[in-house]
Structure 1
Amino acid sequence: MDEKDLNENEEKLTDVNNDSVDSGLEEKDGVKYETSDNWEFDAKAPTLDENLVMENQDYSISFDKVSEPKPTQALDNQNDNKIVINKEPLKFIPLAIFLAAVIAVVATFGVRYYTVPNGKEGKYMNPASVVATVDGQKISIGMYDYYYASIVSYYEQYASYGYYSLDTTKDYSKQYTTDDDGNKISWQKFFETEALKEVEQITTYYSKALEEGVTLTNAQKKTIDKQISTLKDSASQNDVSLDQYIKANFGTYCSEDTIRLMLEQYYLSANYKGKFKCETKVTDNDVDKYYNDHKNDYKKIEFYYIASPYDATDENSKNESIKTAEKIMAKMKDKKSVIALVPEVYSSYIDSQVKSSMEQDSTLTEKKAREEAIKSYESNVVTTVSGSDSPFDDKMNTWLFSDDTKVGSKKYYIDESAGYIYIVLKTSKASVEEDETYTVRHILVAPESGNNSSSSTSEKTEYTDEQWAAAKKKADSILAKFNKTDKSEYEFAKLAEQYSTDSASTSSGSNDSFGGLYESVTLGQMVPDFEKWSIDDSRKYGDTGIVKSDYGYHIMFFINDCPEYQSKIIAQIKSDRLSTMIDKAEVKVHENAIKKAVDKEKAAKEAAAESATASSSNSAQGTTSASSGNN
């Protein structure tokens, strides 16, 4: 996509009769909800040359729990003089003329223009396609469709692994989980809310990126084209059109334009967040204050645990699950006793792993496969966590990290959404995360070996002397280019995005990274020369250099070397400041449009299930007929 196309995407579609829309909105927790059942008809017809800026995770972004919208009263008149002046001319317009004007609008654009989403983006998107606005930026039903379908797919996948108590064959509106505040909520509502969270986050950062002139890199543009090309290939392999393939995988109202725009938004958002983190400075006072307010978050603790299934079908099932957990807890005396429980408690999982291992490796004996499976589960009963990444709620964390809770104490924690009771044995006291860590950025210049695939710091390749020499020359030229800039962290990060072959530390990878960043790196994690340069006592912020490793030449940019808890706090403060932007965003949600999207997806899922059942039935009948014929 060229600069002209991007500029076109930045044009804004005239708001749909903003005065009438705002009077029909209820504001709750900073989010405005459309309460009119026929909101589509309250719009002023936009001209065809008007445009809309659309916008895609960390995920990872939070909406408060949404309650059902209630009708709001009209705004009180606040200025009598203005009312007299504005209302006077309207007294002389007959109702028939007003209705004729409305009919003319509908006749010009068609009823479907206001009632049926057209699946378009930008200036071609009709009013019925708008599901929400974030700081004035309109979100299409296709974009919401994409995030909704992606989130549902994510949870369905992990539910199949046993991580969530979710029956994918049943209605999600009749199955329940808990939200971040511990409130009971249907899975359906949970999916809708999570989709809105993602849309809000991406739109907010995307808008900031446009405001500050952040652009896509050439590499990102190529990646977007490649992704679209891959979709086309997949559609072709399945003998369907690209449009059909996208609708089947990403939502009924999704289109190629939606996917392309989503990718552009994702990368521009990543670039903006990267720029923000580069330019945001955190002082020692900021770190000290944050630590004093969140001490437990930066302490680490070891504990042993057993995960016992939790059946929340009814009260009797819950009570039985708790009784089973209490029996297990009674047997947990020390570390050895917990390990000894593994073969018994995880017997079904071990049996399943043994079967799978033997199917994958025909030379493996059952005895050996069982030994390996048991060993694997035994290694998983011990873990070390910090307060900030503990899987438990505040009450359980307080018990676990408190000095008043003695080593050897036991307690169970019910995670209903995961479908497990975690029975915990405390095996150490909490201690501050004092381990040395360092944070750097780097640009990896790997010698070219004829293989164009991106490298990472976990892969090794043999290179010739000529290839090494060429890589060194390129690394020198990139560093020289950096030295001609203002030598800021952001300038270095942009060069990393453009030149680094380490996809794990840039936006081209899947780690939500940007600009060659390696943050809070513990000793021994990276190759020796990389680490040696990074922890040199003489290092100060902004230092640069070139280091050679088996992977190539690393152009280094030093950020800090400090205890782990300080490094984590610096990252958290920056993340919190980013989140503040989302908290301040003005969000308006059209519930009717969201309902259309959700209903469409439910109908498509039911149709697919019925089709699969019918196909299975026909196949079974065909087999039976064939058997009868053979007899």
Structure 2
Amino acid sequence: MSGSKQKLKRQEERNQGIDKRQLRDKQREELVRKQKKYGIIAGVVTALILALITFFNSNLLYRNFTAVKAGEVEYSIADFNYYYNNLYYSYYNSYFSNYGEYANYMMPDKETIEGDTIKMMEETALLYTQAKETGYELSEAGKKQIESNMDSLKDTAEAAGFKSVKQYLKSYFKGGVNEDIYRQNLEEYTLAMEYGETVLDSNTFSDKELEDYYADNKDKYDVINYRYFFVNGAAVADNEETEENEEVDGETAMAEAKTKADEFLSKITDEESFNKLAYEYADEATKESYSDADATLVSSQGANIDTAYSKWLLENGRNSGDKTVVEVANGYYVLYFISRDNNDYETVNVRHILIKPEEVVKADYEDEEAYKAAQEEALEKAKAEAEELYSQWKNGDATEASFGKLADEHSDDAPAGGLYENVAKGQMVEAFNNWIYDASRKPGDTGIVETNFGYHIMYFVGNGMKYSNYLADTDKKTEAYNKWVEENVGAFKAEEKWPLKFAH
């Protein structure tokens, strides 16, 4: 090969090398460019994910997105949490009072409580909207109650072991509820409920209508006074043994319980004998409780009597001294009928100013003696304050109106002017009840009464409705109110929005 050809060939090889290097460089540049591009995209995606996580964990989601819309009223997730958790704990407290530590097992499920929450919000939206449209304004008593509620938040938080109200609200209501949202919902709900009372009270009925309604429902309203004792067949089966040291079967146990109940019944001659027999026949675990003569005594409206034996007690013609044994699944009730009360008496209207003693926390004192001394001091201080206010009123106009004004300014109880209307027998604590139902009591009577709540400055207004009419009036008004709600709440049928998924 000639030199020129070799030279040309080497040149071509060099050119090809250059082209390959250029190609590799371009490929490398493209790779770097793509890496940068996707790195930026990955960074953006990561940042977006972090932002979303932060957003969903923040209160912005809970407070700024509509979870439920009822009519024109919009409720955020935080608002829903306010209603849901208030209702949840209302249920819980009710079930706990009946079932104690088993309350959680008896509670309605989450879906049921959510549904009830929505219904409550619909009714609240209806009442709140109507109140605003009609110009109804919150009463002074309502405003006072709201402020009292807000003031107690700090004490409640401290008592529950939280460092701040913010932490307490977060724990109690879950997401989004702060003091502002708590107050706003409390104000709207209080306004709605007050307006609801005006709707309720707008329905009026004649005495004849009320008397007829009571007569149609007397088994529900009449108070039945009776004594009872339960012979537990199941307990006999669990605790007694035969001579062969074998457990007594259920059938035998119930037969023995029946024999015991029949013996008890045959020996009853009057109320006193019933009490003595209850003590005699009680098992050792409960015997001491029957040393109290009232342990077997019950006074209850017919609607509240155990259905196992209410039919017998409510039968027409039942006379004082009638007695019987009623069988149930796990034993026998021995019953003694005393009387039936048709609630034919006048209730009373009364005003009061409650002065509570300052709360004394036992943990703040070194020993029991110091603690009791502090309690006594707090009581004496409350008593002195009550006496001072009472003197102030007597040395002033000394009228019912001035008493009501003083109650609004100083009472630790909520009613406007300290007024309780249509108070039934036994509705108030014993000392309060005894004062207002004293046979010598006259309109305008005043005084100071001590109860476990504190000191009550009393003003007797006079008689209220006949209690039988009051019971009928209450139920007829409730029926009319429920009908009104049913007719109007359709326009406030709740629309559930996607943010509701993030509630509680």
TM-score range relative to shorter protein: 0.5 to 0.7
Q: Secondary structure at the match of 1:163?
A: helix
For residues 233 and 195 of structure 2, the distance between their equivalents in structure 1, rounded to whole angstroms, comes to 43
Decide which of 281, 286, 299 is 1:384's aligned counterpart: 299
The corresponding residue for 2:411 is 501
For residues 576 and 497 of structure 1, the distance between their equivalents in structure 2, rounded to whole angstroms, comes to 33
Query: Which amino acid in 2 is paired with 1:148?
Result: Y
Shift of 1:389: 3.2
Q: Secondary structure at the match of 2:493?
A: strand
| Partner deviation per Cα, 1:457-506 (whole Å, 9 max, x = no partner) | xx8964498654313245x3764569xxxxxxxxx7xx587246262x62
Query: Which amino acid in 2 is paired with 1:560?
Result: G
Task: Note if 1:517 corresponds to 2:421.
Answer: yes
Query: Greater helix share, 1 or 2?
Result: 2
The corresponding residue for 1:332 is 261
Shift of 1:527: 6.6
For residues 590 and 390 of structure 1, the distance between their equivalents in structure 2, rounded to whole angstroms, comes to 41
For residues 156 and 291 of structure 1, the distance between their equivalents in structure 2, rounded to whole angstroms, comes to 33
Gaps of 5+ in 2: 1-50, 235-248, 266-273, 360-378, 450-454
Matches within 5 A, 1:110-125: 125=64
Decide which of 348, 352, 358 is 1:439's aligned counterpart: 348
Shift of 1:390: 3.2
Decide which of 108, 113, 116 is 1:191's aligned counterpart: 113
Kept after mapping to 2: 8 A contact 1:220/1:267: no
The corresponding residue for 1:570 is 473
Shift of 1:164: 6.6
Decide which of 85, 88, 103 is 1:149's aligned counterpart: 85
For residues 256 and 496 of structure 2, the distance between their equivalents in structure 1, rounded to whole angstroms, comes to 48
Shift of 1:570: 2.9
The corresponding residue for 2:230 is 306
Q: Taking structure 1 as reference, are residues 270 and 118 closer, same or farther at Cα in structure 2, changes over 3 Å only?
A: same
Query: Which amino acid in 1 is paired with 2:303?
Result: S
| Partner deviation per Cα, 1:106-129 (whole Å, 9 max, x = no partner) | xxxx999x99996789xx6422x2
Matches within 5 A, 1:579-618: 579-584=482-487, 585-586=489-490, 588-589=493-494, 596=501, 601=504
Kept after mapping to 2: 8 A contact 1:472/1:553: no
The corresponding residue for 1:472 is 394
Task: Note if 1:255 corresponds to 2:178.
Answer: yes
Decide which of 65, 79, 95 is 1:126's aligned counterpart: 65
Shift of 1:440: 0.7
Q: Taking structure 1 as reference, are residues 143 and 375 closer, same or farther at Cα in structure 2, changes over 3 Å only?
A: farther
Matches within 5 A, 1:551-566: 553-558=457-462, 560=464, 562=466, 564-566=467-469
Query: Which amino acid in 2 is paired with 1:248?
Result: S
| Partner deviation per Cα, 1:352-387 (whole Å, 9 max, x = no partner) | xxxxxxxxxxxxxxxxxxx755647x8444322112
Q: TM-score, normalised by structure 1?
A: 0.49
Kept after mapping to 1: 8 A contact 2:447/2:458: yes
RMSD: 5.1
| Partner deviation per Cα, 1:414-468 (whole Å, 9 max, x = no partner) | 8xxxxxx79544321762424534231414387xx9x788xxxxx8964498654
For residues 295 and 429 of structure 1, the distance between their equivalents in structure 2, rounded to whole angstroms, comes to 17
Gaps of 5+ in 1: 1-109, 169-174, 178-185, 311-319, 351-370, 415-420, 454-458, 483-491, 509-513, 537-543, 602-631
Decide which of 215, 222, 228 is 1:292's aligned counterpart: 215
Q: Taking structure 1 as reference, are residues 208 and 592 closer, same or farther at Cα in structure 2, changes over 3 Å only?
A: closer
Kept after mapping to 2: 8 A contact 1:506/1:517: no
Matches within 5 A, 1:265-414: 265-269=188-192, 271-272=194-195, 275=198, 281-301=204-224, 302-306=226-230, 328=257, 331-333=260-262, 334=265, 335=274, 337-343=277-283, 347=285, 373=289, 375=291, 379-392=294-307, 397-403=310-316, 407-411=322-326
| Partner deviation per Cα, 1:170-214 (whole Å, 9 max, x = no partner) | xxxxx678xxxxxxxx64444344444544555454445444513
Query: Which amino acid in 1 is paired with 2:501?
Result: K
Larger radius of gyration: 2
Query: Which amino acid in 2 is paired with 1:137?
Result: V
Kept after mapping to 1: 8 A contact 2:87/2:117: yes
Q: Taking structure 1 as reference, are residues 534 and 225 closer, same or farther at Cα in structure 2, changes over 3 Å only?
A: farther
Query: Which amino acid in 1 is paired with 2:65?
Result: N
Query: Which amino acid in 2 is paired with 1:596?
Result: K
Q: Taking structure 1 as reference, are residues 572 and 411 closer, same or farther at Cα in structure 2, changes over 3 Å only?
A: same
Q: Secondary structure at the match of 1:238?
A: coil
Decide which of 135, 148, 152 is 1:223's aligned counterpart: 148
For residues 323 and 276 of structure 1, the distance between their equivalents in structure 2, rounded to whole angstroms, comes to 59
| Partner deviation per Cα, 1:45-76 (whole Å, 9 max, x = no partner) | xxxxxxxxxxxxxxxxxxxxxxxxxxxxxxxx
For residues 244 and 566 of structure 1, the distance between their equivalents in structure 2, rounded to whole angstroms, comes to 48
Shift of 1:534: 8.9
For residues 478 and 230 of structure 2, the distance between their equivalents in structure 1, rounded to whole angstroms, comes to 33
Q: Secondary structure at the match of 1:409?
A: strand
For residues 256 and 280 of structure 2, the distance between their equivalents in structure 1, rounded to whole angstroms, comes to 14
Kept after mapping to 1: 8 A contact 2:289/2:295: no
Matches within 5 A, 1:167-246: 168=104, 187-196=109-118, 198-200=120-122, 202-210=124-132, 211-217=134-140, 218-230=143-155, 238-239=162-163, 242-246=165-169
Query: Which amino acid in 2 is paired with 1:332?
Result: A
For residues 323 and 203 of structure 1, the distance between their equivalents in structure 2, rounded to whole angstroms, comes to 60
Kept after mapping to 1: 8 A contact 2:350/2:461: yes
For residues 159 and 323 of structure 2, the distance between their equivalents in structure 1, rounded to whole angstroms, comes to 55
**Percent identity over paired residues:** 15
Q: Secondary structure at the match of 1:213?
A: coil
For residues 126 and 229 of structure 2, the distance between their equivalents in structure 1, rounded to whole angstroms, comes to 40
Shift of 1:144: 3.6
Q: Taking structure 1 as reference, are residues 329 and 571 closer, same or farther at Cα in structure 2, changes over 3 Å only?
A: farther
For residues 575 and 477 of structure 1, the distance between their equivalents in structure 2, rounded to whole angstroms, comes to 37
For residues 213 and 321 of structure 1, the distance between their equivalents in structure 2, rounded to whole angstroms, comes to 64
Query: Which amino acid in 2 is paired with 1:471?
Result: W
Shift of 1:515: 4.2
Shift of 1:590: 5.0
Q: Taking structure 1 as reference, are residues 148 and 468 closer, same or farther at Cα in structure 2, changes over 3 Å only?
A: closer
